[in-house]
Homo-oligomer: A and B are copies of this chain.
Amino acid sequence: MQDILAITKALADENRLRALMMLREQELCACQVIEVLGLAPSTVSKHMTILRQAGLVQARKEGRWMYYRLPQRSAAKPVKEALSFVKANLAESVQAKQDDKKLQRVLSVDRELLCKNQIKK
């Protein structure tokens, strides 16, 4: 019960759903997620921790950068089902489409530049 509840609680927030949708197609660096969601780095960090603890997201640290991705083959059944649910039902949402667009722009910017600009703001 508690593992399922961790999943449903993790899904019960708009910004976390947006983050999961962004990770559909590719691994992303924290600063890229921060940029698209438009939230403070500390806030996004907390969201990603909640998603990770539910098993919905995996993370990998490379130097100063933290990369997030959806779990693949290895994921537990409830996790896979939850991610399928999210992907299937949000793909057509306005929010997901807007985020896709913004993400394309963000991905076209050099990552180091992106991070530095965030600091300045």
Could you give, for residues 1-42 of chain A, a 1 whenever the CB lies within 8 Å of some chain B CB and a 0 otherwise? 100110011011010010000000000000000000000000
Give, as a whole number of angstroms, the nearest-CB distance from A1 to chain B. 4
B-chain residues with CB within 8 Å of residue A82 when the two chains form the complex: 85
- Select the residue from A4, A8, A9, A81 with max chain B CB neighbours within 10 A: A8
User: Given A4-B93, A12-B11, is A81 in contact with B88 using a C-beta cutoff of 8 Å?
Assistant: yes
How far is B50's CA from A12's CA once the two chains are assembled, in angstroms? 13
Within 8 A of B (CB), among A43-86: 77-78, 81-82, 85-86
User: Given A11-B12, A17-B8, is A1 in contact with B90 using a C-beta cutoff of 8 Å?
Assistant: yes
Hey, which bits of chain A sit against chain B, CB under 8 A? 1, 4-5, 8-9, 11-12, 14, 17, 77-78, 81-82, 85-86, 88-90, 93-96
